[in-house]
């Protein structure tokens, strides 16, 4: 037994034919006799031949691999997106290589670099919180390199993106809180440089206005990190400092919602009686905590699948990027649980 994998040449030698014949026989090209095809396939089977994907990549200048760049896998939402991506990619014969940036711009840029030198066929990107300048993406886009952004999408020309309707999700959540009789609703927002954060603020504001309530900027508070710990501290402070005690919290993120919940409990407030709470993303733990947390669910897996389908269509030229004018927007769903129901 040889070391390493059998190659086309091994088959060729065994059968005393040329490598080209083997190559063609394996792919059922015309101009090769049935007899030869049979023998070649037989020997290929015997030697457990597997085509060398690297050699193929070099020859075709294609790797059949797509690169995925996300902030962090520990985020439930992103892990569901990954599943959607893998599902579609594998079914269409592509590999996935994944890196997390840990919210660092430097990691984002170096990942792009190494993936490019690995001849990646296209990118699926949700950029880091640090990313405010998009030159490194624009350059690639201008070269016609296939990129699809998801969830965190940039506002630059020619960028193709898949996102959820953050505006509507936030609107629904806030509207729901109002319908439950809550009046002084704080919005714990995400980092303001992310468009999704700004869209959610817009949705929150619209819902207030629609219901004839005032928008008070003091009731919109940024939670840049987004952990429960951070929001717990912020909420505790808010409960003391705000002139009128808030009676509801709509958080841009479930962890932040939990932090608010813990802070309220610690302050002796009952949920949902005294304070209503709604989160965003529908993490697994929403149903595990007490009271269960209402949340806006984002179709993560679907988003990953959709983004991948578009990317692969672009790679395979089945799709003209110019034909896509606006972002693809997926619907959210408000899941009402105990934390926000008191009527």
Partner DNA sequence: ATCGATAACGCAAACGATTGCATTGAAAAA
Partner DNA sequence: TTTTTCAATGCAATCGTTTGCGTTATCGAT
- Kindly state the tokens that stand for 98: 């994944």
Q: Is 117 in the site for its own copies (CB under 8 A)?
A: yes
Question: 1 to 30, contacts with DNA by CB under 7 A?
Answer: 4, 7-9, 16-21, 23-24, 26-27
Q: Is 266 in the site for its own copies (CB under 8 A)?
A: no
Question: 121 to 180, contacts with its own copies by CB under 8 A?
Answer: 143
| Listed ranges 74-82, 146-154, 188-196, 318-326: which one lies at the site for its own copies (CB under 8 A) | 74-82
64-77 burial string, b = 16+ CB within 10 Å, else e?
A: bbbbbbbbeeebbb
The binder of 36, among its own copies, DNA, none, by C-beta within 5 to 8 A per type, is DNA
Out of 13, 28, 33, 224, point to the residue binding DNA (CB under 7 A): 33
End-to-end CA distance of the chain, in Å? 75
The binder of 27, among DNA, its own copies, none, by C-beta within 5 to 8 A per type, is DNA
Q: Is 58 in the site for DNA (CB under 7 A)?
A: yes
Out of 18, 20, 114, 193, point to the residue binding its own copies (CB under 8 A): 114
- Residue 14's closest CA among 35, 37, 39, 48? 39
Q: Is 216 in the site for its own copies (CB under 8 A)?
A: no
Nearer to its own copies, 207 or 314 (CB): 314
Out of 1, 45, 48, 61, point to the residue binding DNA (CB under 7 A): 61
Q: Is 41 in the site for DNA (CB under 7 A)?
A: no
125-142 burial string, b = 16+ CB within 10 Å, else e?
A: bbbbbbbeeeeebeebbe
Tell me the CB-side half-sphere exposure of residue 222, using CA atoms within 13 A.
Answer: 9
- Residue 188's closest CA among 225, 241, 154? 225
| Listed ranges 111-119, 244-252, 307-315, 327-335: which one lies at the site for its own copies (CB under 8 A) | 111-119
Query: CB–CB of 308/124 below 8 Å?
Result: yes
Residue 19 Cβ vs DNA, minimum distance, rounded to whole Å: 5
Tokens 């949340």 -> residue: 295
Distance CA 307, CA 162 (A): 6
3-class state of residue 8 by DSSP: helix
Binding mask 276-295 for its own copies (x = CB under 8 A): -------xxx-xxxx-----
3-class state of residue 212 by DSSP: coil
Question: 125 to 144, contacts with DNA by CB under 7 A?
Answer: none
Residue 267 Cβ vs its own copies, minimum distance, rounded to whole Å: 14
Nearer to its own copies, 68 or 196 (CB): 68
Query: CB–CB of 84/300 below 8 Å?
Result: yes
Compute the C-alpha angle 81/326/65, nearest 5°: 40
- Residue 250's closest CA among 194, 179, 158, 311? 179
**Positions that interact with its own copies (CB under 8 A):** 3-5, 50-55, 57-58, 61, 63, 65, 72-74, 76, 79-80, 82-83, 86, 95-100, 102, 113-114, 116-119, 143, 228, 255, 258, 262, 265, 283-285, 287-290
**Positions that interact with DNA (CB under 7 A):** 4, 7-9, 16-21, 23-24, 26-27, 31-33, 35-36, 49-52, 55-56, 58-61
């Amino acid at each position: 037994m040889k070391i390493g994998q059998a190659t086309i040449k091994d088959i060729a030698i065994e059968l005393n034919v040329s490598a080209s014949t083997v190559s063609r026989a394996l792919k059922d090209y015309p101009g090769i006799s049935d007899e030869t095809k049979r023998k070649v396939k037989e020997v290929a089977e015997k030697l457990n031949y597997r085509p060398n994907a690297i050699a193929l990549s070099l020859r075709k200048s294609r790797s059949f691999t797509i690169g995925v760049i996300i902030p962090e896998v520990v985020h439930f939402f992103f892990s569901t997106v990954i599943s959607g991506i893998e599902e579609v990619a594998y079914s269409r014969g592509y590999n996935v290589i994944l890196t997390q940036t840990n919210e660092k711009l430097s990691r984002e840029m170096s990942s792009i670099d190494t993936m490019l030198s690995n001849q990646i066929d296209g990118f699926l990107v949700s950029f880091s919180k640090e990313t405010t300048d998009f030159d490194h993406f624009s350059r690639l886009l201008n070269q016609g390199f296939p990129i699809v952004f998801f969830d965190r999408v940039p506002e630059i020309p020619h960028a193709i993106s898949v996102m959820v309707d953050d505006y509507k999700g936030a609107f629904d959540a806030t509207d729901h809180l109002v319908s439950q009789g809550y009046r002084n609703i704080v919005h714990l927002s995400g980092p303001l440089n992310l468009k999704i954060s700004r869209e959610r603020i817009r949705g929150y504001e619209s819902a207030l206005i629609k219901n004839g309530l005032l928008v008070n900027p003091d009731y919109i508070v940024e939670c840049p990190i987004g952990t429960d710990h951070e929001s717990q501290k912020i909420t505790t402070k808010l409960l003391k400092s705000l002139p009128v005690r808030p009676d509801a919290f709509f958080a841009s993120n479930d962890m932040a919602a939990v932090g608010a919940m813990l802070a309220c409990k610690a302050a002796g407030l009952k949920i949902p009686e005294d304070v209503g709470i709604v989160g965003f993303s529908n993490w697994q733990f929403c149903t595990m905590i007490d009271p269960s947390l209402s949340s806006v669910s984002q179709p993560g897996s679907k988003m990953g699948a959709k983004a991948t389908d578009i990317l692969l269509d672009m790679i395979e030229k089945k799709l003209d990027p110019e034909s896509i004018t606006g972002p693809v927007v997926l619907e959210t769903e408000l899941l009402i649980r105990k934390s926000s129901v008191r009527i």
